[in-house]
Every structure is written in structure tokens, then in C-alpha cells.
Amino acid sequence: MRLAERLASPKIFLAPMAGVTDAAYRILMREHGADLAYTEMVSVAGIHYRSDKTWELVFPHEDEPEIAVQLFGSVPDQFEEAAAKVVERVGEKLALIDINMACPVPKVVRKGEGSALMDDPGRAADIVRATKRGAGDGVDVTVKIRRGRTVGTELAPGFAKAMEDAGAAAVAVHGRFASEFYRGTSDWSSVERVADAVSIPVIGSGDMLDASTVARVLEEGRVKAVMVARGSYGNPWIFEDSRTILAGAPQVEHDGLERLDALEEHIRLLISTGAHLARARSLVGWYLKGMPHASELRGKGMSCSTLDDYLELIGFAREQLR
């Protein structure tokens, strides 16, 4: 499905998150209503140098219907090469290719990658054109940006227009400056200003932390879709709950036992997709937040290393709720 068709009605996407959106995470969120799920950031240099670890981030699991692959880097030729290889290897399961021009992490920005590209719109446009050449006519190329690099200097509207002129099929906008990282609040008026500046679809990002906020933005804003990131931590229901609210029905409450069931399912998905169980340590903290003995359980979770360890932990947590 091409992006224009996909965005004919409001959509809720699982945002790309480094160290988080592996196959297990994507599968679970799709089960709970995410309309599309993105890979972790994939280095075009890693693909160029034939890194097996890089390709592990790209390939969808057999249980995934499709994926969006997010690329990052700074060399246009490497983007063209990477896009062509991703299209060839992922095949029909490739929904789109997204280019990360939003990441604020210093080790990324220092290399001229991520949000650093917002200071170099010429190179950024070359990257979009190169990625489109590599992807061919059958795959949409999108861009994810921030409000700007530093507080007080908003670049997003003009930058987004330049990316549209270079051929981007949509632009996702996080309403914070890169220098803010995730501090403060996302300014959704900046997302609206981007929507005023371009004719391509705009996807909103930033502080989609609960279903009521997602529903409100999709009802009141001018975005065609939103990206949910931290709002999905320990809360795979945020996607379906948002749709429930949009339909005018009351939101369903998810009790502690349901959250523990979801945690167990998530851990089993890590195993079935071949992920390292160390990733489950973060999940324990997210799913158990606010529950009885959560601090103690998080501490115990840091020493878990096998499925049995985690099942014992979950069993103890269940007992505290009965």
C-alpha cells in the first residue's frame, strides 16, 4: 500500500526507537492496533560495510506483516546504496523508507547525521533524492525532523518544504528542538506550521503518552498520523484505546494482571524472535510501573537472565495483586 492510500484515514504508528523497536516490540504493538511499526535506526554506513549486526535490525520477522525501515547517516551515495539493498532484501514487506533527520544524540550529531542535517538543507535534500533513486518508484521515502537544532531557531517549516521539493512523500515532525532532547513539552503549534508550509502529509510526534492525547490530536490537529514512542512503554493498548476514544466509547482500563500477562507475552516474543533476554529488564520496569512492590521487582528484574527467572518474578507480582 502506498503512503497516500495508507493515510486516507488517520493512522497511529509505532515510532522508531533505538534499542526498543525490535521485532518482538513491533509484533506486539501491531497486535494491539499500531497501523505501522518502524525499525530501530539503521546505519547506511553499516549497510555499506556489510555489517551483519546492521542487517539484523532491518529484516522483518516472519510474523510481521510489514515494516518501515528508518535509515540514518550523512553520505548521499550510501543512502542510495542502502535503499536499493533494503528494497531488494525486504521485498514486499517493506512499507516505506524513512530518513532520520531528528536524532539529537551527540555521537550521531557529531558525524553530521540525525538532526545535524537540519543545518545543512542542501545535503539533506541530496540524501532524499539519493534515497529515492535507490528505492525506485515503488517505495515511498519519508523524512523525520525536529522543530530545529537549537531553542529559539525554528527551521522545520522551511526545511520540510525543501524535503518536499526533493521528493519526500511525507514528513514526520517532533515538536521539540534537538537541543531539548526530551525535556519540557512538545510544541504542537510547530507541527501545525509545518502542515501550513507543505502539501505532503505531516505526521506528528512528541508526547503521545496516552490514548486520550493521541485521540485529541487526531481529532483536532491537521496531521494525517501520529507516532507513538514512549507512550507505548508498558502500554501496548495505547493504539486500540486511542481508536476506542475516537469512536466515542469510554476507554478500557487495564488492570495489573492484564499488564503482567502482556509482560509475559512480550518476554516470550523476545525468545521466539531470537532477541537477547537482557532487553526484558527494561520491560519489567515499564510494565510494573505503579504496581505494588514495583521498586523491589525492578531490582529483581535486573538479575533475571532466563525465561524461568522472569516467570518467577511475574508469578510473585501476580500474588501481590490477589
DSSP state of 252: P
The H-assigned helical ranges of the chain are: 3-6, 23-31, 44-48, 52-58, 76-90, 106-109, 121-135, 156-166, 188-197, 211-220, 238-246, 256-272, 280-288, 294-301, 307-321
C-alpha cell at 28: 506486539
Give, in order, the Cα–Cα distances in Å from 180 to each of 176, 177, 191, 229.
6, 5, 16, 17
DSSP state of 19: T
Closest CA to 263 of 21, 12, 28, 26: 28
Catalytic residue among 23, 47, 95, 103: 103
Closest CA to 73 of 113, 105, 128: 113
103 among known catalytic residues: yes
CA 90 to chain CA mean position, Å? 18
Residue 16 contacts residue 24 (beta carbons within 8 Å): no
Residues with a known catalytic role: 103
